[in-house]
Amino acid sequence: MADKQLEAADSSKVWGVFSLVAALLAATVAKKGLNATWKAATGKEPPANPADPDVDIAEALLWATVSGTLVAVARMLASRRAADYYARSTGKLPPGLGADA
């Protein structure tokens, strides 16, 4: 019984690190791509802080919407890919994932 608990704890730690690295990497790549796309489309750097009152409100809203959505989607796709890899490697879904109730 203790062996299964230890194995589950180790599996949970491995999954936690694996999914975190995948999500951070995906967010970084998405942000770099978005920054380059923004600069190409607008000819200027993206707002460093959209909450700054000196940034035009329309630009701040557009940047927050596009960047937030793109980064969230990239992280979700990376997490799904990591979960698929984990499941193929171990034969079971990662801890905490499963069919919706």
H-type alpha helices, 43-91 = 57-90
Listed residue (86, 88, 45) closest to 67, CA to CA? 45
- Please state, in angstroms and rounded to a whole number, the distance separating the CA atoms of residues 59 and 80: 31
Local confidence band at 99 (pLDDT 50, 70, 90 cut-offs): low
Mean pLDDT in residue range 7-12: 64
The total of other beta-carbon atoms located within 10 Å of residue 94's CB is 21
Per residue in 27-82, pLDDT (tens digit) is 999 999 999 999 999 999 999 898 999 999 999 999 999 999 999 999 999 999 99
Per-residue pLDDT at 2 exceeds 70: no
State whether residue 54 is helix, strand or coil.
coil
